[in-house]
Copies of this chain bind each other. A is one copy, B any other.
Amino acid sequence: MIPMDVGGRVGRLRTVLGAAGCDALLVTSLTNVRWLTGFSGSAGRVVVLPDELVLVTDGRYGDQARLELAGVDGRVAEGRNLAAQLDSLVDLVAGVRRLGLEAEHVSWAAHQGYAGAFGSELVATTGLVEGLRLVKDAGEVARIETAADIASEALAHVLPLLADEPAETEFETIVAAGPNGGFPHHRPDARRIVEGDLLVVDFGALVDGYHSDMTRTVAVGEPSPERAELLALVTEAEALGVAAVRAGIDAKAVDAACRDYIIAAGWGERFTHGTGHGVGLLIHEAPWVNATSTDVLGEGTVVTVEPGVYRGGLGGARVEDTVIVTSDGCRPLTKTPKDLSCLR
């Protein structure tokens, strides 16, 4: 696997702190902690000082953190409990005049606690690390693409099993059959998959912390003409969305490419969600591809395109690819074909 440039990230973060009005940053989002340091535990906060990076974690994670931070210019401070960890943080930020907090990743209660404990002026920051996470390096893309390949293989493996009429709950993902497909985020239940159903299969895999995300809608046996038309509509809308993706385009223009086609066909009211989202350490992250997004797609950003139309009792259809944005278009990381069927 191509290595990731974890060690270079804190330097890039330091270059944006000044413009955000901070002399240092307390990183409390675990996802941002992982991106910045490689630390994958469930409890840890990072203090980014002008000349030092310190991960504060608890006794469970000290050894693991030191291993995972091997390629990063930083150190690990262990605190047995929350009070001891707060003491460490207080010491670390003692000389900091303006300390940035991640305002979306610090609770109101935690902010009150920090305000009482720290002498620094606390600055609300938004999306500093997330902004850097938008563009994936080669190692990150390799992990997402490997995850996408694993998901594709898994679907190829599962598809023939549908002929045996399993219940939805025999699958470990978002699977919605027939009327349940009418709910865009239905979770599997014991309904049995039957002839004629449209089966919405929302599939992902995880490699070294990085997600993939894809959806296929499979006709089980021979779908009715109405269902076949629904599936063709969504498949074409998705293709139009993917064709619109390129570096520099407004994310909302990609949404419009899908949505306008569905609206023209008369089903706009049944496309009840945005067209897509970024994918990386989170399954859903920036940029956001929807009608009110102000994001612009940058080269090296990984996004999904996933229009869906949900028609209640008739069933629903959604088609989703994960793609990486290039200067003149995009490269699909999802390689499963669209015309899947499952004969009985």
Cβ of A107 < 8 Å from any Cβ of B?
yes
Contact residues in B for A12 (Cβ distance below 8 Å): none
Chain A 100-141 near chain B by CB (<8 Å), digits 1 or 0 = 010111111111100000000000101000000000000000
Interface-forming stretch among A88-96, A183-191, A321-329? A183-191
Contact residues in B for A107 (Cβ distance below 8 Å): 103-108
Closest-CB distance, A109 to chain B (whole angstroms): 4
Q: Which of B61, B112, B124, B272 contacts A112 (CB 8 A)?
A: B124
Contact residues in B for A64 (Cβ distance below 8 Å): 183, 185-186
Known: A60-B272, A182-B63, A272-B60. A40 touches B108 (CB 8 A): no
Contact residues in B for A312 (Cβ distance below 8 Å): 63
CB interface residues, A 269-296, toward B, < 8 Å? 272-273, 290, 292
A105 to B109 alpha-carbon distance, docked (Å): 8
- Shortest Cβ distance from A84 into B: residue: B292
Cβ of A41 < 8 Å from any Cβ of B?
yes
Known: A103-B107, A126-B109. A81 touches B292 (CB 8 A): yes
- Shortest Cβ distance from A83 into B: residue: B292
Closest-CB distance, A171 to chain B (whole angstroms): 14
Closest-CB distance, A295 to chain B (whole angstroms): 14
State the majority secondary structure of interface residues on A: loop
Cβ of A11 < 8 Å from any Cβ of B?
no
- Shortest Cβ distance from A62 into B: residue: B272
Oligomer: number of copies? 2
Cβ of A42 < 8 Å from any Cβ of B?
yes
- Shortest Cβ distance from A172 into B: residue: B172
Contact residues in B for A182 (Cβ distance below 8 Å): 63
Chain A 209-235 near chain B by CB (<8 Å), digits 1 or 0 = 000000000000000000000000000
A188 to B187 alpha-carbon distance, docked (Å): 27
The number of chain A residues with a CB under 8 A from chain B is 37
User: In the bound complex, do residue A108 and residue B81 qualify as a contact, i.e. CB atoms below 8 Å apart?
Assistant: no
A312 to B273 alpha-carbon distance, docked (Å): 49
Cβ of A59 < 8 Å from any Cβ of B?
yes
CB interface residues, A 53-84, toward B, < 8 Å? 58-64, 80-81, 83
List 14 additional contacts besides A104-B110, A105-B107, A112-B124; criterion CB under 8 Å. Answer: A40-B187, A42-B185, A60-B185, A60-B273, A62-B272, A81-B290, A83-B292, A103-B108, A104-B108, A106-B107, A107-B108, A108-B111, A109-B124, A109-B126
26 sampled A-B residue pairs with Cβ under 8 A: A40-B187, A42-B185, A58-B272, A59-B273, A60-B184, A60-B272, A60-B273, A61-B185, A63-B182, A64-B185, A64-B186, A81-B292, A83-B292, A103-B108, A103-B109, A103-B112, A104-B108, A104-B109, A104-B110, A106-B108, A107-B108, A108-B108, A108-B110, A108-B111, A108-B124, A109-B126
